[in-house]
Copies of this chain bind each other. A is one copy, B any other.
Amino acid sequence: MIPRYSNAKVDAVWTHEAKLRRWDKVELAVIEARVEQGAVPQSSSNEIRNALLSNAADITWWIERDLEIRHDLNAYIDERRRYISPSLQHLFHQDMTSYDTEEPATALALIECCTLVENAYEIFIDILRTSARKYRYLPFLERTHGQGAKLRSLGGRMITWMAELDEAYPAFEEALKSLRRSRISGAIGNYGGKLSPQIEKRALEILGLSPLKGSTQIVTRVIQARLAQAIQLLAEPLGKIANDIRLGARSGCPIVQEPFGKRQKGSSAMPHKKNTIRTEQVEGLLRMIRGDVSALVAAIQTWEGRSIEQSSVERVNWPDVFHLVLRILNELGGVIDKLAVYPDNMYREIRDSRGTYATDEAKNFLAEKLAEKGKDAEIAYRIVQLASFGVFEPKGHVWRELRTAVPDSLSLADDYLEMVESAPPEEVNNVRDLILEGGLVPVEALEASQEDADEWNRLLQDIFSVEDTRAKWHETFSIGYLLRSEDDIFREYHLT
């Protein structure tokens, strides 16, 4: 990964030094297992261990050797043997094949990286929970299909994000468990020489792993593929969250914005800009994860006892997916932690939806009243639809003219712009009052006729002739009523 997107801790896992130290660990574990079996004297093991631990591998030497013999594990053996006394050299990597060393070491590296993900995820979730609590009662106009739908608290929105992660994270945890299974079972997996099921079991145990019987020269890549899939599964909802923030930050009436530094420049050309660059980057990083993961999953396709297609991919893509997912977690966590939230705009947006934020409840309310009068529920739908479309019809001749004002020259366009700037504030009405007053009129976009409107207005006047009904109707449009069931959801997430 290029430095711009690198995570220092991930880098530390994959340095040459760290890799060779892991190989040391595996080699020493095998020798130790033999000691316990009585096949190697404890003193020999100790001597080898001391030799290795007190002599860090000479990376330059090793790389040169690798270039010469084209085999990095063999080059490592040669490097390490330089510090072991000749009489003990044969005990080092005895009767093992390269992947007897590499497989457990790779498992350890992946586990280390997964721990980094666990930690970053925990921090991320804490930020999300804290924010959800903070915005427990802050209402905004939730959208479906990009259109204002119904009210939800911002905390409630954050719970919907959490709900996605709550489904994704267990897959990661399950995948991580499988990672603790490895092998030290010889060139095709049925042992040989001094390797035996007993040695394998004990050496892996020393490393914190356990045997996966039925391995070939390598552990089935299903295990790594599952982890790769799980990381993508975790990253995908993070991409959705980033996208929701981008959508909420659209200029006009932004309800949230990414944090913006006091010296930051949004754009070199346009000084007014506050761009959603961090959440957009999340999308880019996610695209890379998808590509990397597909190559990691393909590693399952190998020939018979193994072939080595997977090696290059794993060298490149494993570090990369960890860099990427950690950067997403950190960047997005940072954005949410310092998210600029605009309550004023949230209320404004609710107001400007002209009561349509409650059409669901309003329709249900009317349907019940109409049912009492033996009228079809469909009428409630049509009344509310007509009212909703009606309140957004342009009001006043200026706005009516502007609705279709497609200019045929730039100067006419300037004239229209001037009209708008000098226009009186548009009168607005809203669904709640329009229906309450029985003030429906036909709109062109719908089939309802003047007769329909007249009839429905009469029905409405009848319904709303009762004071109590009017009060309840009003309540239907209140935040308190509309969010009445959210408590249950917050309780589920222990956020009350």
**Of B2, B149, B361, which is within 8 A of A315 by CB?**
B2
Q: Give the chain B neighbours of A137 by CB distance below 8 A.
A: 406-410, 412-413
- Which residues in window 219-255 of A have CB below 8 A to B? 220, 222-223, 225-226, 229, 232-233, 236-237, 239-240, 243-244, 246-247, 249-253
Give A244 to B134 CA distance when docked, in angstroms: 33
Shortest CB distance A272–B (Å): 3
Whole-angstrom distance between the Cβ of A381 and the nearest chain B Cβ? 5
Contacts known (A276-B145, A313-B287, A316-B1); A413 close to B138, Cβ less than 8 A: yes
The closest CB in chain B to the CB of A217 belongs to: B144
| Chain B residue contacts of A367, Cβ below 8 A | 90
Q: Does A168 contact B (CB under 8 A)?
A: yes
Residues of B within 8 A of A139 (CB): 410, 413, 417
CB distance from A7 to the nearest CB of B (A): 14
Interchain residue pairs with CB less than 8 A apart (22): A137-B406, A137-B413, A144-B187, A144-B217, A144-B275, A145-B307, A160-B220, A187-B269, A225-B236, A237-B300, A247-B304, A260-B445, A269-B360, A269-B363, A271-B385, A284-B308, A288-B312, A288-B313, A343-B405, A344-B420, A410-B480, A410-B483
A307 to B236, CA, bound (A): 16
In the bound complex, what is the Cα–Cα distance between A416 and B350 (angstroms)? 11
- The answer to whether B268 and A280 touch across the interface, beta carbons within 8 angstroms, is no
Q: Interface readout for A183-206 with B: 1 if CB under 8 Å, 0 if not?
A: 000111111111011000000000
A143 touches B250 (CB 8 A): yes
Closest chain B residue to A380, Cβ basis: B271
Contact B192 A148 (CB under 8 A): no
**Which of A174, A341, A359 has most B Cβ within 10 Å?**
A359
Assess whether A144 is in contact with B188, with CB atoms less than 8 Å apart: yes
Please determine whether A489 and B214 come into contact, CB atoms closer than 8 angstroms.
yes
CB contacts (< 8 Å) of A12 on chain B: these are none
Contacts A71-B265, A146-B249, A178-B167; A309 near B287 (Cβ below 8 A): yes
Distance of A264 from chain B, by nearest CB (Å): 7
* B236 x A364 contact (CB < 8 A): no
Q: A145 and B273 in contact (CB under 8 A), knowing A174-B174, A260-B445, A284-B309?
A: yes
The interface size of chain A toward B, counting residues with CB under 8 Å, comes to 204
Given contacts A197-B485, A417-B347, contact A247 B186 (CB under 8 A): no
**Residue A97 interfacial (CB < 8 Å):** yes
**Distance of A98 from chain B, by nearest CB (Å):** 5
A306-325 contact mask (Cβ, 8 Å, vs B): 1 or 0: 11111111011100000000
Give the complex CA separation of A191 and B269 in angstroms: 11
Q: Is the CB of B416 within 8 A of A347?
A: yes
Question: What B residues does A222 contact at CB under 8 A?
Answer: 164-165, 167-168, 233, 236-237
The reply to whether the CB of A152 lies closer than 8 angstroms to some CB of chain B is yes
Stretch in contact with the other chain, from A54-62, A396-404, A465-473: A396-404
Chain B residues in 8 Å Cβ range of A407: 137-138, 343
Pick from A27-35, A117-125, A290-298, A454-462 the stretch touching chain B: A290-298
Residues of B within 8 A of A244 (CB): 303-304
Expressed in whole angstroms, the minimum distance between the Cβ of A450 and any Cβ of chain B is: 15
A95 touches B156 (CB 8 A): no
Asked if A352 lies at the interface with its beta carbon under 8 angstroms from chain B, I say: yes
Instruction: Give the contacts of A159-179 with B (CB-CB under 8 A).
Output: 159-160, 162-168, 170-171, 174-175, 178
A275 touches B150 (CB 8 A): no
> Are B251 and A307 in contact, CB atoms less than 8 angstroms apart?
no
Is A43 engaged at the interface, CB distance under 8 Å to the other chain? no
A52 touches B (CB below 8 Å): no
Q: A257: nearest residue on chain B (CB-CB)?
A: B147
Chain B residues lying within 8 Å of A493, measured Cβ to Cβ, are 213-214
Given contact pairs A143-B250, A157-B304, a sample of 8 additional A-B residue pairs in the complex whose CB atoms are under 8 Å apart: A69-B265, A144-B304, A145-B276, A170-B174, A187-B269, A284-B310, A343-B416, A347-B402
Q: What chain B residues lie within 8 Å of A159 (beta carbons)?
A: 213-214
Q: How far is the CB of A428 from chain B (nearest CB, A)?
A: 10
A295, B305: Cβ atoms closer than 8 Å: no
A445 CB contacts on chain B under 8 angstroms: 260, 262
Please, which residues of chain B bring their CB within 8 A of the CB of A427?
Answer: none
Contacting pair B239 A300 (CB below 8 A): yes
Smallest Cβ-Cβ distance to A486: which chain B residue: B190
- Check A233 against B237 for contact (C-beta < 8 Å): no
Contacts of A266 in B (CB 8 A): 147
Q: Which residues of B contact A64 (CB under 8 A)?
A: none
Please give the distance in Å from A4's CB to the nearest CB on chain B.
7
Let me know if A268 and B411 touch, CB within 8 A: no
